[in-house]
Amino acid sequence: MTVPVQAPARDARTPIAGSVTRADALAQWCEVRYGLPRTAGEPGAGTGWVVTEAFMTDPDRFGAWRATLADWLRAQYGAAPDRTTGGYVMSWYLGAVGLLGGALFHQSRRVPSLRPSDVAIHVAEHDRPHVVGLAVLADGFACLPDDPDADHPAATVVADDHALAALLRARFAAHASRFVASFGPTVRFGRRQLWAAATDALDSAAWTAGLLAGDEAAGVADSALLLPAKQDPFTSGSTLRATDAGWTRRRESCCFHFALPAAEACATCPRVCRDEAAGPAA
């Protein structure tokens, strides 16, 4: 799926740009960048990237994404149930925005703007059409008092880790609310299913960042900061827990992979057993 990009070039010398560069090392499965590709010579420039506000104002873009996914699923499995394309896109989209915020929070103790107009995603145009790129488009960021750039005009200083986590939670919830309002009418999912997916995305975000950075326990601790208890509109607090096999979590939402021909339900699918757990989303 190709989506025209209409966004200005950004100054890579702003403080948040450095944070994004450090986060890129964490996202081994996904490019993370500040601003959009500026020249036609850059790989992917002008193709695949979309400012997420476009999804909010034109939900048909979700339909185009799902149609591309349906073609891939039919090639792989022989069928593409509507609930499966909806479940995949829901999980991919929310997981991407959550990881963007969670990685910067975990790595740099900074929270970028997550307004749909300030975030872009890059969807692969060949093979599996999942999210392969994330971009921060705004200069502003929130940080702690001891941040080296706390006096920068683009910085908003908050008191401590708990306040910064609460701000990230609120910013992600605001973005997810726009997603639910735009995407929700295009699928036969209830409101709880949509917010369960948002909960999974936020709970997995810092954990995934810590895991990729080689400090899983620190990522788990950050997840507890982000979701210390059930708070509306999220469907639960963090479900991460330690087991003999390592850290794991109970998923709140379903991707509907089981609806594909000859596919089995994931061992951790909440429709199978809500006491089982899931690893970070791929």
The per-residue pLDDT for range 241-269, each reduced to its tens digit, is 888 888 888 888 877 766 677 766 666 66
pLDDT over 60 at 12, yes or no: no
pLDDT digits (tens, 9 = 90+) for 84-126: 999 999 999 999 999 999 999 999 999 999 999 999 999 998 8
pLDDT tens string 131-149 = 999 999 999 999 999 999 9
More confident residue, 275 or 21: 21
Q: Is the pTM of this model over 0.85?
A: yes
Say if residue 233's pLDDT is above 70: yes
Q: Which residues of 265-276 are buried (b: 16+ CB within 10 A; e: fewer)?
A: ebebbbeeeeee
Domain ranges of the chain: 18-259
pLDDT at res. 278 = 46
Q: Across all residues in the chain, what is the average pLDDT?
A: 87
Q: 21-72 pLDDT, tens per residue?
A: 888 777 677 899 999 986 434 444 456 799 999 999 999 999 999 999 999 9
More confident residue, 267 or 223: 223
Domain spanning 18-259 has what CATH number?
1.10.510
